[in-house]
Amino acid sequence: MLRALSAISAYRHGDESVSEKDIPWLHYLVSAEERVVNLERIQSLQELANANPVLDYVERTLEVLDGLKLSFWVREILEEVLVWSETAKGGTLRQRLQWQKAGINLFVHNIGSAQIYDTFVQAEGMDQRAVTTTAASAPVPFQGRTSVIHTLIETHGLIGQYIRGEVPFQGNLPLLQLVHQGLLAPGELASLLMPLNQCIITAVSPQLWEEVRSEVEDLIGYIADGAGPGRLTLEDRLRRLRAGSIRRGENFDDGYKQVEQSVSTAAAAGARVDGSAPSAPHSRDLETLLRPLEDATLWYVESALQDFTLEEVVKVLLLAVKEEPSAQARGVNHISFERLMNAMYYDYRGMKKINVYKKRIIEKYLRELSFEDIVTGRSRRSNQHLAHRVERSGSLADTVFFTFEFSAAAEKLIEFCVEAEKSPLYEKAVLLLFDLFELRRDAYDRFHNEEDYLADMNATADYKSIMLDYITGERVIDIGPGGGVMLDLIEQHLPDTKPIGIDISANVIEALQRKKQLGNHRWEVQRGDALNLKDYVEPGSIGTVIFSSILHELYSYIEWNGSKFNPDTVGAALRSAFEVLAPGGRIIIRDGIMTEPDGLMRRIRFLDGEDREWLRRYAKDFAGRPIRYELTNDGEAIMPVNDAMEFLYTYTWGEEAYVHEVQEQFGYFTPSEYESFIRQTLGEEAQIIETRHFLQEGYTEALAGKVVFTDEQGSEVPLPDSTCLIVIEKKDSGRRAADVTGASQS
Taking only the tens place, the pLDDT of each residue in 471-485 is 999 999 999 998 898
pLDDT bin (cut points 50, 70, 90) of residue 581 is very high
Q: Which helix (H) or strand (E) holds 196?
A: helix 186-204
Q: How many CB atoms sit inside 10 A of residue 499's CB?
A: 25
pLDDT bin (cut points 50, 70, 90) of residue 505 is confident
- CB neighbour class for 221 (10 Å; exposed up to 12, middle 13-18, buried from 19): middle
pLDDT, the chain, mean: 84
How confident is the model at residue 133, as a pLDDT?
A: 37
How confident is the model at residue 395, as a pLDDT?
A: 65
Q: Which one has a higher pLDDT value, 49 or 292? A: 292
Query: Which residue from 436, 323, 322, 431 is spatially nearest to 386, judged by alpha carbons?
Result: 436
Q: Which amino acid is at 697?
A: E
How confident is the model at residue 131, as a pLDDT?
A: 38
- CB neighbour class for 184 (10 Å; exposed up to 12, middle 13-18, buried from 19): buried
Buried b or exposed e, range 529-544, using 16+ CB within 10 angstroms: bbbebeeebeeeebbb
Question: Which is it for strands 686-694 and 723-730: parallel, antiparallel or unpaired?
Answer: antiparallel
Average pLDDT over residues 130-150: 60
How confident is the model at residue 52, as a pLDDT?
A: 82
Residues whose CB falls within 8 Å of the CB of residue 404, separated by 6 or more in sequence, listed in order: 340, 343, 358, 362, 365, 386, 387, 388, 389
Buried b or exposed e, range 576-597, using 16+ CB within 10 angstroms: bbbbbbbebbbbbbbbbbbbbe
Q: Do 369 and 382 form a contact (C-beta atoms < 8 A)?
A: yes
Instruction: Report CA 330 to chain centroid distance, whole Å.
Output: 34
Q: Which one has a higher pLDDT value, 695 or 441? A: 695
> What span, in angstroms and rounded, lies between the C-alpha atoms of 149 and 501?
57
pLDDT bin (cut points 50, 70, 90) of residue 655 is confident
Q: Which one has a higher pLDDT value, 383 or 498? A: 498
Whether the per-residue pLDDT at 206 is higher than 90: the answer is yes
How confident is the model at residue 457, as a pLDDT?
A: 43
> What span, in angstroms and rounded, lies between the C-alpha atoms of 179 and 186?
6
Model confidence pLDDT, tens digit, residues 405-456: 999 999 999 988 888 876 767 777 877 887 788 775 544 444 554 455 444 5
Pinpoint the alpha helices (H) of 225-251.
Answer: 234-241, 243-247
Whether the per-residue pLDDT at 280 is higher than 50: the answer is no
> What is the DSSP-derived secondary structure letter of residue 167?
S
DSSP-based three-state secondary structure for 333: coil
Whether the per-residue pLDDT at 698 is higher than 80: the answer is yes
Q: Do 313 and 298 form a contact (C-beta atoms < 8 A)?
A: no
Whether the per-residue pLDDT at 195 is higher than 80: the answer is yes
Q: Do 113 and 80 form a contact (C-beta atoms < 8 A)?
A: no
Query: Which residue from 598, 608, 604 is spatially nearest to 647, judged by alpha carbons?
Result: 604
Please state the φ and ψ torsions of residue 708, each to the nearest 5 degrees: -115, 125
Whether the per-residue pLDDT at 600 is higher than 90: the answer is yes
Average pLDDT over residues 163-167: 92
Question: Which is it for strands 498-503 and 524-527: parallel, antiparallel or unpaired?
Answer: parallel
pLDDT bin (cut points 50, 70, 90) of residue 733 is low
> What span, in angstroms and rounded, lies between the C-alpha atoms of 100 and 113?
12
Prediction pTM value: 0.73
Q: State what percent of residues in the chain have pLDDT above 90.
A: 49
How confident is the model at residue 283, as a pLDDT?
A: 47
> What span, in angstroms and rounded, lies between the C-alpha atoms of 424 and 710?
29
pLDDT bin (cut points 50, 70, 90) of residue 271 is low
Q: Do 442 and 530 form a contact (C-beta atoms < 8 A)?
A: no
Beta bridge partners of residue 423, listed in sequence order: none
Q: Which one has a higher pLDDT value, 12 or 604? A: 604
> What span, in angstroms and rounded, lies between the C-alpha atoms of 732 and 401?
63
Q: What is the DSSP string of 435-492?
A: HHHT--GGG-S--S-HHHHHHHHHT-HHHHGGGGGG--SSEEEEES-TTSHHHHHHHH
pLDDT bin (cut points 50, 70, 90) of residue 229 is confident
pLDDT bin (cut points 50, 70, 90) of residue 209 is very high
Whether the per-residue pLDDT at 737 is higher than 50: the answer is no
How confident is the model at residue 744, as a pLDDT?
A: 43
Q: How many CB atoms sit inside 10 A of residue 696's CB?
A: 18
Q: Which amino acid is at 241?
A: L
Average pLDDT over residues 359-385: 82
Query: Which residue from 691, 686, 678, 700 is spatially nearest to 729, judged by alpha carbons?
Result: 686
Least confident span in 277-286, 363-372, 625-634: 277-286
Whether the per-residue pLDDT at 511 is higher than 50: the answer is yes
Buried b or exposed e, range 604-621, using 16+ CB within 10 angstroms: bbbeeeeebebbeebbeb
How confident is the model at residue 440, as a pLDDT?
A: 59
Q: Which one has a higher pLDDT value, 739 or 340? A: 340
Give the range with max mean pLDDT: 35-44, 116-125, 171-180, 563-572.
563-572
> What span, in angstroms and rounded, lies between the C-alpha atoms of 660 and 621?
11
> What span, in angstroms and rounded, lies between the C-alpha atoms of 298 and 400?
10
How confident is the model at residue 49, as a pLDDT?
A: 57
Model confidence pLDDT, tens digit, residues 298-345: 988 888 998 899 999 999 999 988 765 444 445 678 888 989 998 888
> What is the DSSP-derived secondary structure letter of residue 574?
H
Q: What is the DSSP string of 26-41?
A: HHHHHS-SS----GGG
pLDDT bin (cut points 50, 70, 90) of residue 272 is low
pLDDT bin (cut points 50, 70, 90) of residue 712 is very high
Average pLDDT over residues 367-380: 82
Q: Which amino acid is at 186?
A: P
Q: Which one has a higher pLDDT value, 461 or 603? A: 603
> What span, in angstroms and rounded, lies between the C-alpha atoms of 732 and 584?
5
Q: What share of the chain is helix, strand, coil (3-state, %, to 5)?
A: 55, 15, 35
Average pLDDT over residues 625-636: 92
Average pLDDT over residues 556-564: 87
The beta strands (E) that lie in 148-282 are given as: none
Query: Which residue from 349, 590, 354, 552 is spatially nearest to 450, judged by alpha carbons?
Result: 354
**Peptide linkage before 278 cis (omega within 30 of 0):** no
Query: Which residue from 624, 607, 618, 626 is spatially nearest to 650, judged by alpha carbons?
Result: 618
Average pLDDT over residues 39-62: 74
Q: Which amino acid is at 244?
A: G
Q: Which one has a higher pLDDT value, 148 or 35? A: 148
Average pLDDT over residues 106-131: 78
Least confident span in 7-11, 141-145, 544-548: 141-145
> What span, in angstroms and rounded, lies between the C-alpha atoms of 705 and 137?
75
Average pLDDT over residues 633-660: 88
Q: State what percent of residues in the chain have pLDDT above 70.
A: 84
Buried b or exposed e, range 70-79, using 16+ CB within 10 angstroms: beebbbbbbb
